[in-house]
Amino acid sequence: MQPHRRFSFGSISRRLTSHFWLLIVVGILLTIGLGYLPLDAQTTGIPETVSRCIPQQTRQPIVRSELIGSSRLQGKDYYLLATYTENNQQPTNLIVAVTNGRCEELFFNPMGDRVPFASVVPQSVAQQLTLAQYRREIQRIGKDRFQQQVSEGAASTQNPIWFAEEVWALRQLGITIPANVRVQQ
């Protein structure tokens, strides 16, 4: 004869409590682990073809990427991304071109040098990507604050030189170009 097990609320409570804590621990581990997902998991909204061209071997690992804008010219798609590294809130621009499902890194500027997009892509593409970049900034801080930054940026430099794609994009957005700005073609 088998011993008779006595039903008690205490035994049920202990089982539920142990299961509850197990679920809590697993939940915490999953939450912590989400911060260490592979790069592809932190590139929301970026086509898979483009995400394959995000540099993997950089001095500081890229932890997040955002799609800023895209342009198409003669069967080639161009994408401007903002990439973020650990401990750096300032994004680095990355331009990727995709042709027939193959991607190619055209521009990556982790040092933040002032280089026109038109040095690596056709002028019309450079204009569209710059326009997308400025629209994003206006959306983030507002048009008045953006105009103020443009004016202050020009005033802080004697004889400022801006790239043609920058001036074109600012004009498209109705932003006043300061009189002291010279345009580099």
| pLDDT tens profile 69-119 | 999 999 999 999 999 988 888 899 999 999 999 999 999 988 888 999 999
How many angstroms from the chain centroid is the CA of residue 110? 13
Domain annotation covers residue 19: yes
Q: pLDDT tens for residues 144-176?
A: 999 999 999 999 988 899 999 999 999 999 999
Model confidence at 18: pLDDT above 50: no
84 is a domain residue: yes
Distance CA 176, CA 148 (A): 10
Residue 6 in any domain: the answer is no
Q: Is residue 2 part of a domain?
A: no
Q: Is the pLDDT of residue 27 over 50?
A: no
In this structure, are 29 and 52 located in the same domain? Answer: no
Averaged confidence pLDDT in the chain = 81
Same domain, 19 and 79: no
Of the pLDDT bands very low, low, confident and very high (cuts 50, 70, 90), residue 59 is: confident
Q: Is position 128 within any domain?
A: yes
Burial class (CB in 10 A: 0-12, 13-18, 19+), 28: exposed
Q: Residue 159: what pLDDT?
A: 86
Q: Domain ends where: 64, 95, 111? A: 111
pLDDT band at 3 (very low <50, low <70, confident <90, very high): low
Q: Which residues pair with 27 in a beta bridge?
A: none
In a domain, 1, yes or no: no
- Same domain for 28 and 77, yes or no, is no
What's the token pair of residue 66? 């955002």
- 3-state SS assignment for residue 153: helix
- CB neighbour list of residue 122: distance below 8 Å, 6 or more residues apart: 73
Give the residues across from 104 on adjacent strands.
97
In the predicted structure, residue 177 carries a pLDDT above the cut 80: yes
Q: What whole-number distance in Å separates Cα of residue 120 and Cα of residue 150? A: 24
Token reading at 156: 């802080």
CB 44 within 8 A of CB 65: no
**Alpha-carbon Rg for the chain in angstroms:** 26
Whether residues 105 and 119 fall in one domain: no
Tell me, yes or no, whether 141 and 93 share the same domain.
no
Beta bridge partners of residue 85, listed in sequence order: 62
Mark whether 100 and 61 lie in a shared domain.
Answer: yes
Question: In the numeric block, which tokens belong to residue 118?
Answer: 């038109």
**Structural tokens at position 4:** 């008779």
Look up the domain containing 82 and give its range.
Answer: 43-111
Residue 5 has pLDDT above 70, yes or no: no
Residue 25 confidence (pLDDT): 36
Give the pLDDT confidence score for residue 6 in this predicted structure.
55
The residue from 96, 111, 126 where one domain ends is: 111
30 and 78 in a single domain? The answer is: no
Say how far apart CA 29 and CA 33 lie, in whole Å.
6
161 shares a domain with 121: yes
Calpha distance 95→72 (Å, rounded): 13
155 and 132 inside one domain: yes
- 105 lies in the same domain as 48: yes
Report yes or no: 123 and 165 within 8 Å, Cβ to Cβ. Answer: yes
Assess if residue 4 is contained within a domain: no
Domain end call among 111, 145, 167: 111
Is the pLDDT assigned to residue 40 strictly greater than 60? no
The number of distinct structural domains making up the chain is: 3
